[in-house]
Amino acid sequence: MKPFEFIRPESAEAALQAIGADNAKFLGGGTNLIDLMKLEVERPDTLVDVHRLPMNGFSEMGGGGLRVGAEVTNTALANHERIRKDYRVLSEALLSGATAQLRNRATTGGNFLQRTRCYYFMDTTRPCSKRDPGSGCAALEGPSRIHAILGASEHCIATHPSDMAVAMAALDAKVETRKASGETRSIAATDLHRLPGNTPQYDTVLEEGELIETVALPAPLGGTHLYRKVRDRSSYAFALVSTALVLKLNGGRIDTIRLALGGVAHKPWRAEKAETLLSGKEPTEENFKAAAEAELADAKAEGSQAFKVELAKRTIMAALREAADQETAA
């Protein structure tokens, strides 16, 4: 690993000043960044540790929402009373990720910004335009079963790996940031990550050195919350396909639906086509199938990836079926 300077500021202002140094990176739990530094995929000159910043708590928001500090660990977030009661899909998504030891260390901000698990990205002997802009994409020629089937480009077919971010997208969470200039902004979780296009080196819309300070969860939606994750092993594995779903029935029809997919795109994929098709409809198998078909209509998958299109459709339908059954029984 390349030598680096380590800075541990006590305030956001000091952290933002320190991050202005050439080639500096924030350090959250380090469970992704340090691994990538050992592989020399990431080579920062300076690490700005954000643990001493006042970003480690929860606060109630007006209207029933909840604000979460960026340094709250994945364990604390998953187990918080309000999250378990009102945002259960988020708790389930977090608990499906990594291991207890990693979740004890990993932070909310770092989880959003963890990098792709594309094996070619992590292998510095292979061409990768995300790691080395313009060098090509080894995934286009090799096995690519963990790669994207929606929204990919000819320059990159990587997927975003976070389970938490998929639930945050379904819940319409907002990521609240601060730039070195002091300017703050609130970014919808669905808009934080971007599609690769011609510039796959950019994972998100954040500017260099922009600090995630908090995440705002809007007022609870009620209904049934469900996170379904399909993976090669039942634990300690990333999603091949996942669904974050909130469903509420009223008078035998779908009153509220929020659906997002993981493991299929460069970003958490909000399933807007399926949501639109299902709103106000009866929760029938026929309607679930039509919604899943519509959402995957533009999917592109070849060779080792081809199975993911059918897998995504079946995962969507199974989640909808299970949630509708729970709603009907309630």
Give the per-residue contact string, 114-153, with ligand FAD (x = CB under 6 A; - = no): x---------------------------------------
157 interacts with ligand SF4 by CB under 6 A: yes
From CA 138, how far away is CA 232, in angstroms rounded? 22
- Residue closer to ligand FAD (CB basis): 111 or 324: 111
- Residue closer to ligand SF4 (CB basis): 95 or 122: 122
**∠ Cα 166 171 176 (to 5°):** 85
Judged by beta carbon distances under 5 to 8 A according to partner kind, the member of ligand FAD, ligand SF4, none in contact with residue 138 is: ligand SF4
Residue with tokens 């949501």: 275
Residues belonging to the chain: 330
264 interacts with ligand SF4 by CB under 6 A: no
Choose which of 16, 18, 37, 50 interacts with ligand FAD (CB under 6 A).
Answer: 50
Neighbours of 330 (CB within 10 A): 9
Choose which of 156, 264, 296, 312 interacts with ligand SF4 (CB under 6 A).
Answer: 156
110 interacts with ligand FAD by CB under 6 A: yes
Judged by beta carbon distances under 5 to 8 A according to partner kind, the member of ligand FAD, ligand SF4, none in contact with residue 29 is: ligand FAD
Backbone angles phi, psi at 127, to 5 degrees: -65, 140
CB of 93 to ligand FAD, least distance (A): 8
Q: Residue 206: left if φ>0, alpha if ψ -120 to 50, beta else—which one?
A: beta
244 interacts with ligand SF4 by CB under 6 A: no
User: Do residues 181 and 210 lie in contact, with contact meaning Cβ atoms separated by under 8 Å?
Assistant: no
What number of chain residues touch ligand SF4 (CB under 6 A)? 14
From CA 190, how far away is CA 199, in angstroms rounded? 19
Backbone angles phi, psi at 22, to 5 degrees: -60, 130
139 interacts with ligand SF4 by CB under 6 A: yes
**∠ Cα 261 267 270 (to 5°):** 40
Judged by beta carbon distances under 5 to 8 A according to partner kind, the member of ligand SF4, ligand FAD, none in contact with residue 9 is: none
